[in-house]
Structure 1
């Protein structure tokens, strides 16, 4: 082992970065994305140019972005954290004023060749700024009340802007990623217990506000909650999506109906089959085996991030890696729970599998930060 380490150290620095590149993580990301290409080809009825080809192009661009970000020292990204956060907030405000509207929500900036969703960028920027904050803060001050105000404000500001779009799913991911960074930075568990109690009280207030002039959520979001609690109450209306999703999931059985043989998706019973509900198509065609395989790939990605974070003695780099991994976890967990009827439908796509340019590019860029933390850690 000593001989191997000495041999690597004699390799020129540029080539050494290639050796240190986390290739297993890159291969796992490629495997998950490839599953996405296959499913997009399937749900389009064999039309490669409709969804699969643009997604493949975005993956190639995102993979190149990941490599570029990875080879830039993590110290640079640490110094860019404040700028990234401010830029994300500015873009969210810009969306609020001039953003493109789609399906009743104002979440995108139309760039012509693609539509940028700034809330995707904000997921990474929030993790970066919180990792910077707790890297700067003395460890004995982490749980003191006055030092909790800045991270709570940094989290609440983008969450408020995102909720106003409205986009409850992204707000949940922002809160989840921020919460994990704060927890692993050393914030006392008592604060999280208090936050949990506050959330329960807030849910009660949200439900009580319906129909009043102070109504907190949109009407369609309340319908989603009702649908989650009792989808059979309106199977052809608000409960249609989740009802069809459950039918598709159940019909796949253990091994599925076969590739491109899913009736729910091919006969257009399944809504949003290329975005939010693509996991149900995969489960229908490949059954329990396909679903658990994809879940296994996701878990391996989380494990890779966790292991490299544990080995990293740079506090900023470790917290950043944990934060990206946590955001990614909440991404696929919320989507899978949503399409199985175990969580309200909040419009969270399946990461690296669902069709979408902003999500693909931002996720691969975020894993570029993980790679940068891994490559440039002390050895």
Structure 2
């Protein structure tokens, strides 16, 4: 372990500390600050309810992120296989002994802590695919046979997550995997062949959805048909966003949120509370902050000289982007409600800690960005 940490003898601890992208760390801290303010309001002015536990988790996650940033690529490549295997084991355990919540088995208890393995599976998939694709040249990516194993690596967690069932997270995991295939050099014609059947499978997929998933799609299309039942959440969300206007109703003065008309205001619909209290200006400011984090991650990915670091940085950035896009689209009624949190703002431990671990991997790619690809890279 000590030898791995010294894989770059000219890069001492202080040098690595200096090479951390502190602007990115500042953006992450600002986003967590927005989350604290929003959760304080969601708790009705009681910090102990949501805000304090969340900021404590963030403090732990921040330390973890900075520690992971020191891990060299060689160590991460060696750990990718056991991390991926562990994530598959956890996903399997969810199906056997998972905690049921809102019609799905998504959590397991580890030492008294409720953990959602599907969140960890996203990071594990990024590491595994980056390790695999690092040893496959762009020319070899043109051979379909070279894509069979990484396709299995991607589909395995997707299938396990869909069986929970967790359609939203399963789709995000699949999209992250597809983005890494494309970044590794997958040809356009290969992407077209794989994507062509998807529109024709819509009716088949819908027929095999659970009743509550069908209800979400039907509600998305016609929320006014059941305003006090299935359509209640999205209707209240739209009312709250609209009532915010340009400048908002004022902090701790949002009528829908403070009077508890808005459901899941500390998790799925936290952005709606921000829009109601801070208005259009507040929404744009939060979206700008989220966009800066995504762009910073993409910038760090482009600056990496080694293929592994570039793919890891891209995968983590894509994970963050997809979660933000899904949550914002969901609360505005652009897509069906899917229980996707807004990273570092929505209340929850699994999502925050796994995201901070992912950000640590992203910073590791930046700290070791000048390390070239090793020759004759072996998978094991």
The answer to whether the 8 A contact 1:114-1:357 is kept is no
1:149/1:69 CA distance change after superposition, 3 Å: same
Distance 1:12 1:359 in 2: 32
Residue aligned with 1:71, SS: coil
> Which range moved further: 112-121 or 354-363?
112-121
Where does 1:243-254 land on structure 2 (aligned, <5 Å)? 243-254=235-246
> Which range moved further: 113-122 or 320-329?
113-122
Give the CA deviation at 1:12: 7.4
Give the CA deviation at 1:222: 0.2
Give the CA deviation at 1:349: 0.5
Q: Quick one: which of 238, 260, 269 aligns to 1:268? A: 260
Where does 1:68-217 land on structure 2 (aligned, <5 Å)? 68-207=67-206, 209=207, 216-217=208-209
**Cα deviation 1:285-317 (Å, max 9, x = unaligned):** 111111111111111111111111111111000
Give the CA deviation at 1:324: 0.5
Number of residue pairs the alignment of both structures matches:
364
Where does 1:274-289 land on structure 2 (aligned, <5 Å)? 274-289=266-281
Q: Normalized against structure 2, the TM-score is what?
A: 0.93
Unaligned runs of 5+ in 1: 1-8, 210-215
Residue aligned with 1:236, SS: coil
Q: Quick one: which of 221, 235, 259 aligns to 2:213? A: 221
Where does 1:230-249 land on structure 2 (aligned, <5 Å)? 230-249=222-241
Query: Partner residue of 1:213?
Result: none
Give the CA deviation at 1:138: 2.4
**Cα deviation 1:71-122 (Å, max 9, x = unaligned):** 1212211111111111100010011111112222111111354211111100
**Cα deviation 1:205-230 (Å, max 9, x = unaligned):** 123x2xxxxxx211000000001111
Runs of 4+ aligned structure 1 residues displaced above 4 Å come to: 9-12
Query: Partner residue of 2:38?
Result: 39
Query: Partner residue of 1:355?
Result: 347
Query: Partner residue of 2:369?
Result: 377
Distance 2:228 2:268 in 1: 19
Give the CA deviation at 1:156: 1.1
Give the CA deviation at 1:176: 1.5
Give the CA deviation at 1:147: 1.5
Distance 1:140 1:357 in 2: 42
| 1:334 partnered with 2:333 | no
Q: Normalized against structure 1, the TM-score is what?
A: 0.93
**Cα deviation 1:162-183 (Å, max 9, x = unaligned):** 0111111111110121111111
Residue aligned with 2:139, SS: helix
Residue aligned with 1:106, SS: strand
Residue aligned with 1:50, SS: coil
Distance 1:62 1:17 in 2: 19
Query: Partner residue of 2:374?
Result: none
Residue aligned with 1:80, SS: helix
Query: Partner residue of 2:309?
Result: 317
| 1:302 partnered with 2:301 | no
